[in-house]
Structure 1
Amino acid sequence: MAAPSSPPAPQADVLHFLSRSATHGGRRPQRLDTHISTIFLAGEHAWKLKKAVVLPFLDFSSLESRRRACEAEIEINRRAAPDIYLGVVAVTRGPDGALRLGGDGEAVEWLVHMRRFDQRTLFSKLVPAGRVDRHRIQALAEAVWRFHQGAPRRPDRGGAAAMAAVVDGNAASMAAHADILPPAQCAALTEATHATLARLAGLLDERRAAGLVRHCHGDLHCGNICLVGGRPTPFDAIEFSETFACIDVFYDLAFLLMDLDRRGARPLAGYAFNHYLDLSGDYQAVATLPLFLSVRAAVRAHVSATMAAGAEGAERDRLTQAARDYLIAAQDYLSPPAPTLLAVGGLSGSGKSRMGRELAPLLAMPAAAVVRTDSLRKHLMGAGLLDKLGPEGYTPEMGERTYQALYETCRQVLRAGHAAVADAVFAKPEQRDAIERVAREAGVPFKGLWLFTPPDLAANRIRTRRANVSDATVEVLEHQLSYDLGDITWPQVQTGGSKVKALADGRTALGL
């Protein structure tokens, strides 16, 4: 956190009041400062004061503006974190001149009242400690998707013009720190970003027209995500700038993906990315990923440079290196690896979905798009991912529709220049031929992988599944075992042992 700044006199009185143990029932508060807020932590409570500052992107100079900002913070954050955000409370001055939390006197300041959470559950601490697994990161992706689903649509914001303004803003901010961020690299990045943006301008405007620009979180990184009741919970969404918060939903998600990737957790970024795709079906967004990841990294580059300029010694050196690393990452995201198509097949319970998602980060940044027939079938039926379909979902006609959707979605992803993983049983030779043809027609390399496992183990896996998109039962597996699979030409991997060995064997079979 930044060092406390010198507040105006009225706020100095309030800060002194909030610093006293007597204000908090005898508990000595802990004070935290950012460039726009001061937070006091005491017992189970947290109190946030908006600093009376004027910055290029906000004006908190008046008491009324701070009240409105507190109310806006409560409104947006209760959508994702209702257990944290309790309300807006006035600091009042009574007839005796004493300050009180609440009370009937004149309001001299406004505070956001929050329930304190365990700082040890911040994802910025859990991720490097290895305490976020695929289940937890998928729960986070689902929380983000639900947040986006309930977010107001903002067709007056976003689109190509808004993204161009962000790119230009990044360029100006980076130029202000030429001693930290090499000007030639920054200029090359800005030129490449504008070129990418020009190619995607029509798509960005199309997404805005489709309602995919919404009032989002805006600051979705690991430091703004914690566990509440064991559930991943985003908090501290941006309330002070619609420019920063009213954005494409995938640009919002991209901050999380970039942050995970830069923290050395690309596999987690891949799981978050693909679970969001499973939930949303928004495969169109894959084309925006290089741009959105790059712009997010560029933002962090100039923010880190600004922080470095105000630091000293080892901290300045650390932040300077971080700024330069983000700049390099921003350049790298604009040059993704060439797309490839991987198909992972096998009977139910063979571990296809796990294998596909584990291999995906080896094929693209942050991962190849995993396209699953299980998920596509649910979307085609208008059902939720975990809804169990009746017989009408598994007719031959529905099976054909599902595989056609698989082929077309893979084509869409490959046309966007991104790698795809096709996850399906692929029991019929013609289905395997069809997915190989998708790669040939797209002019990209194809790799196929066939998984097999002892039937009793596959059956046990199916019996013990929990919260799984697949509707396969042991009876379905028994029926599959009677199939004539034909000649399987794809490399085959036995998945009856440990998951680590199966993944290693898969990588070896594919030369990854």
Structure 2
Amino acid sequence: MSAMTDEGTGADIAAFLSRPETYGLGAEDRIGCIETHASRVYLAGEHVYKLKKRVDFGFLDFTTLEKRHAAAENEIALNRRTAPDIYLRTVPVRRKDGELRLGGHEGEIVDWLVEMRRFPAEGLFARLADEGRLTRDEIETLAADVAVFHAHAEVRRERGGAALFARIVAGNDDNLKDSAGKVFEAEKVARLKAESDRLIATHAALLDGRRDAGFVRRCHGDLHLGNVTLIGNRPVIFDCIEFSDDIASIDILYDLAFLLMDLAFRANTDARLAGFANRALNVYLDHVGEEAIAPTLDGLALLPLFVATRAAVRAKVTAVIADTEEKRDRSRSYLDFALAALGASPPHLLAVGGLSGTGKSTLAAALAPGLGGPLGAIHLRTDIIRKRLFHVSPLERLPEAAYAKEVGRRVYDEMLKLAGVALRAGMPVVVDAVFSREGERGRAERLAAETGVPFRGLWLEAPATTLEARVTARTAEARDPSDADVRVLHQQLGYDLGLMRWAKVDASATPGECLACAMRLLEKPQD
């Protein structure tokens, strides 16, 4: 529904904001205007001013001056969590002696604006993706930032849970039904609802448990590539949902799912984005703290439901504005993606081992996107786990005491424990460690047997001179979580590996050749 207030349509304010002199600009300056269903955004020189329309859509209500003021203040406060340099302040529009003026302290306040610092549209991640300019490094940085944002977001235990998520799915279904026959096949809409309801029922205790444990938080709510921009070579997240606590107070994994869905959906038709969703997921997990990592991995059982629901949101929104066959096709593609995301992808365990410098982490990261559904496999790396156990960032170096034998056993214990959690959540897993001892390799194999999933093991090997050169270069670059230097490598070269039953990969080749070799080995039936 949409309604206007007694204050009028605001046409005089819109006209006032369209004039360059309002902002102290010259007559030759052009004021741009971007209109959405709920606001008008005026581009004026180096700044942007957002005026909220006097509308009521049920889920948002801007029909009074007080409500628009509260929403503007909320927009500033919430978006400054991730974009403090963009969101500046609220500015009143005042009327004095029949004349409108921007800001100041005299005159009746007739409306409120959100003032923002303008940034170039060329840096929007959606645009970078469309033009093939979005990089894996930028996505990895974004994913790490999202993890930190979620860790500090305000907990909302009074919201979320299975009942609320069922209402989200039901609302999507109502909207999709409105377009059934015109855009969507009714059978597909019904199948999406039935399968989503089944997963909600299956995971009701998990949904409620995550809410009770504090994983429902005041999130961004609209975390797709269109709401991320590059400023100073750094991704900045902006334009969160400010008008509804119900929409934005959600499970943090449901918030993340919008980004993952957007990347995976685009990758279906753009090979340049292949593997980006998997990297975003794994880098996000790499930056989750020790106390939260196990329940976060447990929560991955909800990802098919969360990703499908995000795709359904996109399907219904694009269907409303689908005035061409191309747009209708895109809406249908979102619905098809949602159905595919709900499909079962049996979990399995892959172990990648090798001495320092063999490139095992590079290979594991390259294999992970292709193992499983649209999000690929979870990549668990001892180097990351060790840093998490010592409460430092992945690139921070640890003292030698952190590499004592008893610490090593603890790291392997933690890796296999987390692998078990992820496998039981239905996710394929790649574990990445040296695995130089026969007992360590045996434990990985037993974990697969205990969880009832298939197991494959790859062992990477290369000449000592090659390993020395790689480790030396890696240490100099200081851009890898591994702290192993040439001294550590020399110790490893003296290890007795015992009986090696895992398939051997020649790691002296290029990363691409090593990946191709590994994939050939994995495609072969097991003996």
Structures share a fold, TM > 0.5? yes
Alignment of 1:410-489 (within 5 A): 410-453=419-462, 454-489=466-501
Alignment of 1:240-389 (within 5 A): 240-264=243-267, 265-280=273-288, 281=293, 282-308=296-322, 311=323, 316-364=324-372, 365-389=374-398
SS in 2 for 1:379: helix
Confirm or deny: 8 A CA contact 2:468 2:486 kept in the other structure.
no
Amino acid at match of 2:250: I
Distance in 1 (CA, whole Å) between partners of 2:279 and 2:139 is 7
Q: Which moved more, 1:484-493 or 1:31-40?
A: 484-493
In the TM superposition, residue 421 of structure 1 has moved relative to its aligned partner by 0.5
In the TM superposition, residue 92 of structure 1 has moved relative to its aligned partner by 1.3
2:14 equivalent in structure 1: 15
In the TM superposition, residue 295 of structure 1 has moved relative to its aligned partner by 0.9
Confirm or deny: 8 A CA contact 2:73 2:90 kept in the other structure.
yes
Confirm or deny: 8 A CA contact 1:158 1:208 kept in the other structure.
yes
In the TM superposition, residue 9 of structure 1 has moved relative to its aligned partner by 4.3
In the TM superposition, residue 497 of structure 1 has moved relative to its aligned partner by 3.9
Confirm or deny: 8 A CA contact 2:138 2:235 kept in the other structure.
yes
Please report the RMSD computed on the Cα atoms of aligned residues, expressed in angstroms.
1.8
Q: Which moved more, 1:497-506 or 1:88-97?
A: 497-506
Amino acid at match of 2:286: D
Distance in 2 (CA, whole Å) between partners of 1:450 and 1:135 is 27
Amino acid at match of 1:171: D
Distance in 2 (CA, whole Å) between partners of 1:504 and 1:90 is 61
Q: Which moved more, 1:297-306 or 1:379-388?
A: 379-388
SS in 1 for 2:99: coil
In the TM superposition, residue 10 of structure 1 has moved relative to its aligned partner by 5.0
The two structures have a TM-score, normalised by structure 1, of 0.94
In the TM superposition, residue 410 of structure 1 has moved relative to its aligned partner by 1.3
In the TM superposition, residue 58 of structure 1 has moved relative to its aligned partner by 0.7
SS in 2 for 1:112: strand
Q: Which moved more, 1:198-207 or 1:94-103?
A: 94-103
SS in 2 for 1:60: coil
Confirm or deny: 8 A CA contact 1:266 1:366 kept in the other structure.
no
SS in 1 for 2:203: helix
Distance in 1 (CA, whole Å) between partners of 2:107 and 2:512 is 65
2:144 equivalent in structure 1: 142
In the TM superposition, residue 266 of structure 1 has moved relative to its aligned partner by 4.2
In the TM superposition, residue 8 of structure 1 has moved relative to its aligned partner by 7.6
Distance in 1 (CA, whole Å) between partners of 2:30 and 2:74 is 29
Distance in 2 (CA, whole Å) between partners of 1:115 and 1:336 is 45
SS in 2 for 1:336: coil
The two structures have a TM-score, normalised by structure 2, of 0.91
SS in 2 for 1:57: coil
2:192 equivalent in structure 1: 189
Distance in 1 (CA, whole Å) between partners of 2:37 and 2:504 is 56
Superimposed CA distance per residue, residues 48-75 of structure 1 (whole angstroms, 9 cap, x where no aligned partner): 1111111021110111111111110111
SS in 1 for 2:458: strand
In the TM superposition, residue 399 of structure 1 has moved relative to its aligned partner by 1.0
Superimposed CA distance per residue, residues 207-256 of structure 1 (whole angstroms, 9 cap, x where no aligned partner): 11111110000000000000111111110000011111000001000000
1:167 equivalent in structure 2: 169
In the TM superposition, residue 103 of structure 1 has moved relative to its aligned partner by 4.8
Distance in 1 (CA, whole Å) between partners of 2:475 and 2:383 is 17
Distance in 2 (CA, whole Å) between partners of 1:248 and 1:210 is 11
Residues 496 and 95 (structure 1 numbering): CA distance in 2 closer, same or farther, change over 3 Å? farther
Distance in 2 (CA, whole Å) between partners of 1:456 and 1:471 is 14
* Same amino acid, percent of matched pairs: 44
Amino acid at match of 2:34: L
Confirm or deny: 8 A CA contact 2:352 2:431 kept in the other structure.
yes
Unpaired segments ≥5 residues, structure 1: none
1:63 aligns with 2:59: no
2:523 equivalent in structure 1: 511
Q: Which moved more, 1:299-308 or 1:379-388?
A: 379-388
Amino acid at match of 1:174: L
Superimposed CA distance per residue, residues 358-382 of structure 1 (whole angstroms, 9 cap, x where no aligned partner): 1111112312011111222222233
Distance in 2 (CA, whole Å) between partners of 1:418 and 1:111 is 46
2:270 equivalent in structure 1: none
Distance in 1 (CA, whole Å) between partners of 2:274 and 2:216 is 26
In the TM superposition, residue 505 of structure 1 has moved relative to its aligned partner by 2.4
Alignment of 1:480-499 (within 5 A): 480-499=492-511
In the TM superposition, residue 326 of structure 1 has moved relative to its aligned partner by 1.1
In the TM superposition, residue 185 of structure 1 has moved relative to its aligned partner by 1.3
Between Structure 1 and Structure 2, how many residues are aligned?
501
